[in-house]
Amino acid sequence: MSNAPMKLNHLSFPSHDPALTAAFFETYLGFAIAPSDGHWILKRPGFDVVIEDVDANVPQWPSSFHVGFELPSRSDVESLHAQMLADGVRMETGAPGGVMFELNTRADAAPAYRGTFD
């Protein structure tokens, strides 16, 4: 096995509404949208998310699967949550298209998890 440095490059998710999923990631999670053939590439510095079009098939995820995003403070999390609620985002399903996500901050992480962050 190589000892060369490796970093996570991208994640790919299926969505039955990739345009809506991509718009959610752009509006609330700070990604730039780069539509491509049959999928959407969502860009942030150093990391991409690919949203694959699965037509009308709703993705079936394991109940614990999610993508986690971190904000600097609890007030930032609460502010974004308030914006999502005001915009009518349904919190129980995550992003439109079936991708579940979590927003948190290190500041209020349980003590057992605080040392696990970079």
Q: What is the pLDDT of residues 5-28, one digit of tens each?
A: 777 788 888 888 888 889 989 999
C-beta atoms surrounding 30 within 10 Å: 11
Domains in the chain (CATH in brackets) are 10-54+62-114 (3.10.180.10)
Model pTM score: 0.74
Cα dist. 84→29, 89, 91, 95 in Å? 11, 5, 8, 11
Per-residue pLDDT tens over the stretch 40-58: 899 988 889 998 888 766 6
